[in-house]
Amino acid sequence: MHPKSFNGSLLKIAVEELTKQGCSVTVSDLYAMQFEPRATRNDIVGHLHNSEAFNYGVETWEAYKRGCLSKDLVEEQKKVREADLLIFQFPLFWFNMPAILKGWMDRVLVRGFAYDLSKIYDGGLLQDKLSLFSFTTGGSKEKFAIGGDIRYLLWPMQHGIMHFCGVKVLEPHICYAPENVSEEKRKEMLAAWTQRLKTLWKEEPINCSPEWYFK
């Protein structure tokens, strides 16, 4: 994430404000880290559970149980495990998160760590955590309304990933088309984010049901 981008400014504000509150803040800047978004055989250290037929989901599950996931995944899982709140800051690309962030989800939130077949949604393995998706858009709020409520886009991200793993979800924070508004409006957006962060811990999670997204 470029530090001089609008997303970079939102990240900086979050770090400063939460630190001011006494929180311990850890940042994973995936671009700066050159995080590998591809889910491959390299994510498993050592032998495979079944070398005859490679199944990424099965292999990472088995590797997690053996303590044999790659170093970068272990480090990211440690950050998640220690966190009370996960904030995902990103620009919306083609109605979705950037590929590098989706790759983080694919590789880090493996079975055994984030969920198990009998432990999903409210019973997910990360149910003691909160999450918040903070993102910018290229189009205005009016343009997004043409395709329906922007909440539709959040279903696979918030519900299909976070809620599936048991993580509670706070109301998303959306900054519409910051590059197409006045400097004054951008300052207002940044001020609104600062203000929200001041009372973030008092917020109640959304009702993680289809009705929240598709009502």
CATH number at residue 30: 3.40.50.360
Tell me how far the alpha carbon of residue 55 is from its chain's centroid: 25
**pLDDT at residue 145 in the model:** 74
Domain membership flag for residue 64? no
**pLDDT at residue 195 in the model:** 98
Range of the domain at 13: 6-42+73-214
Domain membership flag for residue 163? yes
**pLDDT at residue 159 in the model:** 97
Domain membership flag for residue 31? yes
Can you give the pTM of this predicted structure?
0.95
Domain membership flag for residue 156? yes
Domain membership flag for residue 54? no
**pLDDT at residue 49 in the model:** 96
Domain membership flag for residue 209? yes
Tell me how far the alpha carbon of residue 124 is from its chain's centroid: 16
Closest CA to 110 of 39, 27, 159, 167: 39
**pLDDT at residue 126 in the model:** 98
- How does pLDDT run along the chain (215 residues), one tens digit per residue? 676 799 999 999 999 999 999 999 999 999 999 999 999 999 999 999 999 999 999 999 999 999 999 999 999 999 999 999 999 999 999 999 999 999 999 999 999 999 999 999 999 999 999 999 999 999 888 887 776 788 999 999 999 999 999 999 999 999 999 999 999 999 999 999 999 999 999 999 999 999 999 98
> How far apart, in Å, are the Cα atoms of 171 and each of 90, 115, 154, 200, 213?
15, 23, 11, 10, 11
**pLDDT at residue 3 in the model:** 67
Domain membership flag for residue 37? yes
Domain membership flag for residue 182? yes
Q: How many domains does the chain have?
A: 1
Which region holds residue 94: left if phi is over 0, alpha if psi is between -120 and 50, else beta? left
**pLDDT at residue 185 in the model:** 95
